[in-house]
Amino acid sequence: MKQSLLNLLRLNFSAFEQSWFLQYSYQLLNEARLWQWKKDVLHFVINWMSAAENMPANTSGSTGKPKKISLNKKHMEASAKVTLDFFGLKPGDKALLCLPEKYIAGKMMIVRALIGKLDLYCIEPSSTPMAKLPEIDFAAMTPAQVSVLMESEEGIRFLNNIRQLILGGSFIPEKLDQQIQHLKTKVWHTYGMTETITHIALRKVNGKDASQWFAPLPGVNIQLADDGCLQIDALQIGVFSLKTNDLIEISGKGFRILGRKDNVVISGGVKLFPEQIEKKLEGLFENLFFLIGVPDDKYGEKLVLVIERKNKAEPNENQLWKLIKNKLTRFEIPKEIIIVAEIETTSNGKIIRIL
């Protein structure tokens, strides 16, 4: 369902000086019935234009408790400029913000618009971020948002109205990857985190130049740490020898993610990457699920499928086994299925892997 024009905030940074936007933001914030998400965007604009050198940010909490960090404005500006250059964005181009300002992806869409003097259309963050808009030159979404939009003709039309789209925050499920191939929109998958001020690498999802390998952006150097994890250096954004928990493979084309070090399951001497196996299972059942390793006397660890009841209905375990065995190799098949009442997620929808 498309959002009304009343639920739209347009900030055309190409048309007015920043001083005008500062006054405009304060004026809007005095409105008694202003939507909270609009307040968040306007407060960010005001804070960006202040004399403070740093901006507060929150990590996502997918690998532990969310934490507050501080990002230097010069580093944020440098990150924005690299993205603007990569996508060939120029003053007056139209950008779409449909992500929460509280996370780095939303913050950096605003910074790119400010630095690049873009015409920024802001709509309320939701699973179906649609509104009647002109053709959009650049937007950022999550795979979950695009999955929902792909379910309707209206949603597909909305996506095709975007010239360039970046997706981040999680893996792209196999089913969604196949659907994206039919969009005229140029789609990229991003790799990054709050600490790297959003993406430091991109891979094209559709078109003739589609790839499974992330290519680091200019100024970004990557290497394989001793434990097989990704290590990042990017001086222009203040990143020095940042070691991640992401196990990677490096080639002349870039790098690809194998899984998180803390999620790897070694069962009977076989190393299993839950994220890769989960990608194969995406779309088989509607329930939320994840794979996890648990201690086992025989195998040392065993792979377990944890699946959520949907609307309090018990999933048919026999049917689940049939679906799983048709999709996975012998070693990838979990040794047990555990059905739980609810799977916990972070505030931005990432699954918390606890049992």
The residue among 228, 238, 240, 232 whose CA lies nearest residue 214 is: 232
> Could you tell me what percent of the chain has a pLDDT over 70?
95
Residue 263 per-residue DSSP state: G
In total, the chain counts a number of residues equal to 355
- The answer to whether residues 45 and 21 touch, using CB atoms and an 8 Å cutoff, is yes
Q: What mean pLDDT is predicted for residues 157-170? A: 96
Element at 254 (helix H, strand E): strand 254-260
- The answer to whether residues 244 and 236 touch, using CB atoms and an 8 Å cutoff, is no
- The answer to whether residues 56 and 102 touch, using CB atoms and an 8 Å cutoff, is no
Task: Tell me what pLDDT residue 320 has.
Answer: 87
Task: Taking the CA atoms of 35, 76, 190 and 57 in sequence, report the sign of the dihedral they define.
Answer: negative
When mean pLDDT is compared over 113-122, 266-275, 276-285, 287-296, the highest value belongs to: 113-122
Alpha helices in the chain (DSSP H): 18-29, 36-48, 73-86, 104-116, 143-149, 153-160, 174-180, 274-281, 317-327
Mean pLDDT of the chain: 91
* Least trusted range by pLDDT, from 25-29, 284-288, 320-324: 284-288
**76-110 per-position pLDDT tens digit:** 999 999 999 999 999 999 999 999 999 999 999 99
Q: What mean pLDDT is predicted for residues 300-312? A: 87
Task: Tell me what pLDDT residue 253 has.
Answer: 94
Q: What mean pLDDT is predicted for residues 202-225? A: 97
Q: What mean pLDDT is predicted for residues 31-48? A: 93
For the cut 80, the answer to whether the pLDDT of residue 65 exceeds it is: no
Task: Tell me what pLDDT residue 316 has.
Answer: 80
pLDDT top residue among 192 and 5: 192
Give CA–CA dist 118/137, Å, rounded: 10
Task: Tell me what pLDDT residue 71 has.
Answer: 97
Phi/psi at 345 (5° precision)? -130, 160
Task: Tell me what pLDDT residue 313 has.
Answer: 63
Binned at pLDDT 50, 70 and 90, residue 5 comes out as: very low
For the cut 60, the answer to whether the pLDDT of residue 20 exceeds it is: yes
Give CA–CA dist 100/123, Å, rounded: 10
Cβ count within 10 A of residue 266:
12
Q: What mean pLDDT is predicted for residues 57-67? A: 69
Binned at pLDDT 50, 70 and 90, residue 1 comes out as: very low
For the cut 50, the answer to whether the pLDDT of residue 332 exceeds it is: yes
CATH class of 5-260: alpha beta
Task: Tell me what pLDDT residue 287 has.
Answer: 82
Give domain limits for the chain: 5-260, 264-340
Give CA–CA dist 113/94, Å, rounded: 9
**140-156 per-position pLDDT tens digit:** 999 989 999 999 999 99
pLDDT top residue among 88 and 127: 88
Binned at pLDDT 50, 70 and 90, residue 246 comes out as: very high
Binned at pLDDT 50, 70 and 90, residue 4 comes out as: very low
Binned at pLDDT 50, 70 and 90, residue 312 comes out as: low
Give CA–CA dist 108/100, Å, rounded: 11
* Least trusted range by pLDDT, from 245-254, 286-295, 306-315: 306-315
Q: What is the CATH T-level fold of the domain 264-340, as seen in this structure?
A: GMP Synthetase; Chain A, domain 3 (3.30.300)
pLDDT top residue among 170 and 125: 125
Task: Tell me what pLDDT residue 64 has.
Answer: 54
Give CA–CA dist 260/275, Å, rounded: 8
β partners of residue 54: 72
- The answer to whether residues 84 and 111 touch, using CB atoms and an 8 Å cutoff, is no
Give CA–CA dist 258/38, Å, rounded: 38
Give CA–CA dist 62/47, Å, rounded: 27
